[in-house]
Amino acid sequence: MPPLLLRPHALNPGDLIVIAALSGPLHAQYEPDLQQAEAVLQRMGFRVRRSGLLQVGQRHRWSAARPEQIADEFNGLLRDPEVRAIMAHDGGQTALGYLDLIDVEAIRRDPKPILGYSDISLLHLVLYQRTGLVGFHADLATPGLGGAWQRVTAQRRAELEQLYVDLLTGSSPKLPAGEGWECWREGQAEGRLIGGVINRIVLNQAMPSALPLEWFDGALLFWEEMGGHASYVWSYLQVLRHAGILDRIAGMVVGVPRDIAGLEGQEEGPSLREIVLDVLGERDIPVLGNVEFGHAGPNLPMPVGIRASLDSRRRTLTLLEAASQPQRA
């Protein structure tokens, strides 16, 4: 049986969102993007604050700080009743270093929306396994709200802002179908959304925080990838096949690939669709491809653990329940 969901508390106008350095550092050239992200959240009606570790030049190797320091600050935010949501500034390569240091009891006492993708998708999976928390696989602050969002039309930006406001305040937002969505295998399915960056899904399944196989029964597996080679994606999917996960899911949603070498159009390689269908073989499940979540940005939010309906022929993905719950008095 899947876990009992722990929905984070919904936000009210004026609530505080903290942008935190949960993985990589803030480089000087991206300070203007972070300022743009702060302005976007304020325009949505929220107060915004940066965490203490989120400073230009603050770093430890490839990280914003040592894993223990990040965990201390993260735990402080989880325990602080004024903080109503935590948005990661960027991804990176650090979450693996502090997964075992997170105060899960603080999450159970006061579940808050945690937003981010890339390395942060590992946090979502681990906290879902340990507490049932619905993690918001959604845009990061600096490359997302302050970056990719600024390169779309004003109308699209307004749509995204409303979508995120609905998500954070307890509504059940509709995910607007994109023109580029593709039906890779026809079908319909309903199930809980489980996923993230595919390499992080595979890593998580090799740790004590691995999701039990039965949690994938009837699930909609969503995944995306950035960088590396097409053969890596094929290999990750093969790992999921060997693990039995592909035999249990009811459907699959694949994000827009970014900077993956060896795909069709870059070299004489296969398309991502061909790779997916090759590994799936005769498994007759709906597959929707080229959906806007992940590194290609801007991101449609994918709340981990929330039930959704997939119709790949009609190219629709619909959230069937709210991702957050009303705040306690």
Given this model, what pLDDT does residue 329 score?
53
- 295 among known catalytic residues: yes
pLDDT band at 328 (very low <50, low <70, confident <90, very high): low
Residues 258-290: tens digit of each pLDDT: 889 888 766 678 999 999 999 999 999 999 999
Domain-wise residue ranges, the chain:
16-169, 182-319
pLDDT score, position 204 = 96
- 16-169 has which CATH code? 3.40.50.10740
Q: Is the pLDDT of residue 15 over 60?
A: yes
Per-residue confidence at 221, pLDDT binned at 50, 70, 90? very high
pTM for the complete prediction? 0.95
pLDDT value at residue 62:
86
Please confirm, yes or no, whether 231 is among the known catalytic residues.
Answer: no
Q: Which CATH number fits domain 182-319: 3.50.30.60, 3.30.590.10, 3.40.50.1000, 3.30.70.2170?
A: 3.50.30.60
| pLDDT, tens only, 130-177 | 999 999 999 999 999 999 999 999 999 999 999 999 999 988 777 888
**Of 118, 121, 312, 324, which one is the catalytic site residue?**
118
104: pLDDT strictly greater than 70? yes
Full strand arrangement of the beta sheet holding 287-291: 182-185, 287-291, 251-255, 220-224, 188-197, 307-311, 316-319
Respond yes or no: is residue 73 known to be catalytic. no
pLDDT band (50, 70, 90) for residue 207: very high
Task: Spell out a b/e string for 30-62, using b for 16 or more CB atoms within 10 Å of the CB, else e.
Answer: beebbebbbebbeebebebebbebbeeeebeee
Catalytic member of 9, 89, 137, 295: 295
Q: Are 8 and 75 in contact (CB under 8 A)?
A: no
Which of 224, 225, 292, 312 is an active site residue?
224
Tokens of 175: 């995910």
On the question of a cis peptide bond just before residue 257, with omega within 30 degrees of 0, the verdict is no
- Listed residue (209, 265, 260, 266) closest to 235, CA to CA: 260
Residue 1 has pLDDT above 80, yes or no: no
What is the rounded average pLDDT of the residues 109-131?
97
Annotate 271-326 with DSSP letters as a single string. -HHHHHHHHHTT----EEEEES-STTSSPPPEETT-EEEEETTTTEEEE-S-SSBP
| Residue 175 vs residue 247, higher pLDDT | 247
